[in-house]
Every structure is written in structure tokens, then in C-alpha cells.
Structure 1
Amino acid sequence: MNCRISLLFIFLLVFHFSHAQIDPDESKNHIILKWSPLSLFDIDNTVQLGLEVPVNDKFTIQQDIGYGHSGFNVWYADYENRPDIGTIKSRTQLRYYFYAKPRFRSYLAGEYLFKRVVRQETKWVGMDCVDNGGCSYFSYKNVKQGKFVNALHAKIGWQFYFSNRTSLDLFVGFGLRKARIRTLTKGVGNVDFDNGWDWWINANNNDPQIIPSVSTGFHLGFALGRFKKKED
């Protein structure tokens, strides 16, 4: 009961602040809580939240953290048995705002992305295998395979501020990413998961690939903290 009252209080508090009229130009001086809706529809889906923290009038640091699971991945909606895949994603971004108008700013940014995707499945696998493909024996066990991605992006973006504390952040970026796939279960050789997705095929299990990378989308933001009362 106390939990429900607390949740109701938080909802009413957020509702009150989101409808209170403030000077939108002041939002740039506040920490902004960000949500990335499109990350829910990514192949490696996550619920992604972030904070943009101002350093001075020109620079900010934004840190995004996301977690997702194949249980709520729209790409597996037609699968009778969804695979067990969990994703952790981190984006660290340094922004430089080079152009500003009331309610609007443009920025350049450098971003580092780290992503860890782990799939697990219980199946027959070879144990203590050697390079020529021979295995000492087979065991029916839970095995895990991980995909690890590191990427660097250069971005340009446009952020709009509104008088109810909200903001809209549009961006596009290009860069390079390196992806490595490896088996995480000790004693198990290379494992192929037959799920139809090419990025889980591990023919080059120990050969990380560097490929071009594109990052585009938008954030919905909510400015935190106390604002000065808007004068009529």
C-alpha cells in the first residue's frame, strides 16, 4: 500500500512539473534526464536512459545506459520460442554546443559505445575441443555466447527546449565499430546458435571485424532541478 502511495505521489509530482511554465532557455543550465524510444526497436533492443550534465555554457557530458532482453524484442514477435538474449549498452558522449538561439541549440559530439549481448541455450555441445574440430566428449548443458561491440562516432545534433521542462534531441552520427563474438562457457568450443541472425554466426569467432557504423535517432528529455518562476 505504501509503495502504491509513493508511486502515485511521484507521478503527480512529475505531472505537476511537466505542466508548470518555465523559461525554456534556462533548461540548458540544468541536468536533463533523457530517454531514447528508438532503442526499443533496435535489433539488440534496450530500455535506454541517460543524463546530460552541463560542464559550462558550451560543453556537456551525456551518459546513457540501457538494458534489454529478447523477451520484449519486436524482431522476435513471430518466433514460437524466443531465444534467451540479454543486452547491456553504454554510450558516453562529450558535446560542444556551437550555435544557440532561444529554445534551440546545435552541437557536435564525440561518442564511445560499448555493447555486450549474451545469448544462452541448453543444448548438446562438444567439450575440450581442438582446432581441427575434434572434441573429447559431448555434454548436454547450458552454454553462453557473447557479442562485444566497441564503437566511436562523430555526431551532429539539434536540441529543442520547451516551456514545460521537456526537450527534443535529434542527432545523426557516423564512425567505426569493432565486434567480437566468443563462447563464454568454460571448456566449450565454438557454438552455433541456429536463430537465423547472421551476427550470431561465429565462423570468425576470434577474428574481430571493424566495420562502418551509423548512429541516428532522437531523445526525449526532462530538465531536472528548480527553475526560476517565469514572469508574465
Structure 2
Amino acid sequence: MKKILLLLAAFIVHAELKAQKKSFSPLYQTQLHISPLGLLDVIEHNVSAGFDTKVANRLYAGADVSAYFWSSTYSKPLNGFAVRPMLRLYNKRLQTDYVELVLMYKRTALKEQGWLGMDCVNNVPSYEKFDTYKRIKEVYDISFRYGTRQPFFSSGKWFYECYFGIGIRHKQYTVKYNEANSCMLDNGEVTLNFFGNSTGNTGRSTFFSLPCGFRLVRTIK
């Protein structure tokens, strides 16, 4: 919620500045970007960086890569990555504003401990074993975004970007456990405990996404 409010405030200030003075930043050849808000993510802390480069008049292509290293939800280390290839088209008249098409693939692995069912007979475990297993999360997303690119403290090389958008996201969880006699389905989606309950948080879901963010960028050409 705080992130959304900050972005709304940034867009309001941006609109006011455009109304007072139309000062457009020139189009560039290549730029690098970093997303500092990933370190403040309340669920999955990450670092994110990327680039985009000009491929045609007002059209740019690039990608972001994120590395995930901690989960606040479980207070445990988290391993994972995300890749976001994108296409960006700048507004012909107002060259500070753009629209983007962004694809995303994300995969994270979190180690957990629990009682796992073993040697199932008719889906009923013969006994339980307290052990460590991995919960794998995979996310697929496609989104359309609107953003603005503005000079950062009147610098000729540094800029900041704010964006928001809408998309469709598919998320799926699997549980990975290497014991051959565990009560694991072939697709790895359910590990049964003694009473036939799953370890939770497994399965698939598809829903709308509302991506938004803030980036620092630096032109290199």
C-alpha cells in the first residue's frame, strides 16, 4: 500500500511539472536500471537490475533480472531468480512517457521442516518422519505498463522511472522431497502427513496482477 501511495504521489508531481513546463528528456541509445525497492519488499527481499536499448525509432528492448535471498514471511533464507524481458515504446510527442509489454518468469525455493508421511498404503501413511523439504514456487506473468522517465536532480546521465500496469499471473507450488518411500505424488504437488493432509500452499492459481515500481536508470550511450 505504501508503495502504491508513493507512486501515485510521484505521478501527481510529474503531471504538475508537465503542466508548468514541458521539458522533455532526449531519447537515448542504451541505459542501465536498478530497482532499489526490492530490498524493501515486505515478503521476498531481492535485488533487481537490467537494461534496455534502442532497436527502432522510439522502440526499445531489454530485460530485468532479480535475485531473491530472504523471505520475511517465513524468516528464512530464500533462493531464486526472476527474468523479465520487455518491449518499450515511447510517446511520440511526450518523450518522457512510455508503454511496455513485459513477460516474467520467477522461480524461488524455500527450505521448510515438517512431519512427512511415509510408506503410503491407499493414500494413508504408515508412519511420519520429521524432515526438511523444499517448497518451489514458479510464477508466469504478462503485463502492460505505463511509465514516465524523468531527470534525477537535473543530471544529464541519471534518471528515475515510475510505472504501473495490469497483467495476468499464473502461480504454482510444488514440494520437493527426495525420499523414495515418501507419500509424494508423481507431480510433486502433495506430500501427505499421517492424517492425509497436505503440507499446505500447494497447487496452482491464475489471477490479475497490478505491477508498479520505481527504478533508477543511467544512460551509457
Equivalent residues of 1:156, 1:171 under 8 A apart = yes
**Do structure 1's residue 217 and structure 2's residue 207 form an aligned pair?**
no
1:146 and 2:132 correspond: no
Q: CA offset at residue 115 of structure 1?
A: 1.3
Q: Secondary structure at the match of 1:211?
A: strand
Q: In structure 1, how many angstroms separate the alpha carbons of the residues matched to 2:191 and 2:77?
A: 15
> What TM-score, normalized to structure 2?
0.71
Letter in 1 for 2:98: Y
TM-score by length of 1: 0.68
Change (3 A) 1:168 1:178: same
Letter of the aligned partner of 1:176 in structure 2? I
User: Which AA in structure 2 matches 1:97?
Assistant: Y
CA contact under 8 A between 2:58 and 2:92: conserved in structure 1? Answer: no
Q: What amino acid does structure 2 have at the position aligned with 1:222?
A: R
Within the candidate set 82, 105, 111, 1:120 is matched to: 111
Query: 1:59 & 1:167 partners in 2: Cα distance?
Result: 18
Q: C-alpha offsets along residues 142-198 of structure 1, whole Å, 9 cap, x if unaligned?
A: 310111110110111111245331011111110110111111223443359xxxxxx
Q: Which residue of structure 1 lines up, in the alignment, with residue 46 of structure 2?
A: 46
The match for 1:176 is: 168
Aligned to 1:134: 124
Do 1:167 and 1:222's aligned partners in 2 also have CA atoms closer than 8 Å?
yes
**Contact (CA 8 Å) 1:112, 1:152: kept in 2 or not?**
yes
SS of equivalent to 1:164: coil
SS in structure 1 at match of 2:38: helix
CA distance in 1 between partners of 2:200 and 2:158 (Å): 42
Runs of 4 or more off by more than 4 Å in structure 1?
A: none
Would the aligned equivalents of 1:97 and 1:106 in 2 still touch at CA under 8 Å? yes
Does the CA contact (< 8 Å) of 1:169 and 1:221 recur in 2? yes
| Root mean square deviation, CA, Å | 2.6
Is 2:96 the counterpart of 1:99? no
Aligned to 2:56, what secondary structure does the other structure show?
Answer: coil
CA separation of 1:220/1:128 partners in 2, compared to 1, >3 Å: closer, same or farther? farther
Return the alpha-carbon distance in structure 2 between the equivalents of residues 96 and 128 of structure 1: 57
How far apart, in 1, do the equivalents of 2:125 and 2:29 lie?
59
| Aligned twin of 2:11 | none
8 Å contact kept, 1:112–1:151 = yes
Count of aligned residue pairs for this structure pair: 181
Amino-acid identity (%) = 23
**Structure 2: runs of 5 or more not aligned:** 1-23, 185-189, 193-198
Deviations 1:16-43 (A, max 9, x none): xxxxxxxx955x3332110111222222
**8 A contact 1:100–1:106 mirrored in 2:** no
Deviates more, 1:167-176 or 1:104-113: 104-113
Q: Which has the higher helix share?
A: 1
Shift of 1:92: 1.3
The alpha carbon displacement at 1:136 in A equals 4.7
Contact persistence 2:44–2:68 (CA under 8 A): yes
Distance 1:126 1:222, change over 3 A: same
- Find out whether 1:185 has 2:177 as its counterpart: yes
Gaps of 5+ in 1: 1-23, 193-199, 226-232
Separation (CA, whole Å) in 2 of partners of 1:212 and 1:34: 26
* Partner Cα distance (1:191, 1:45) in 2: 27
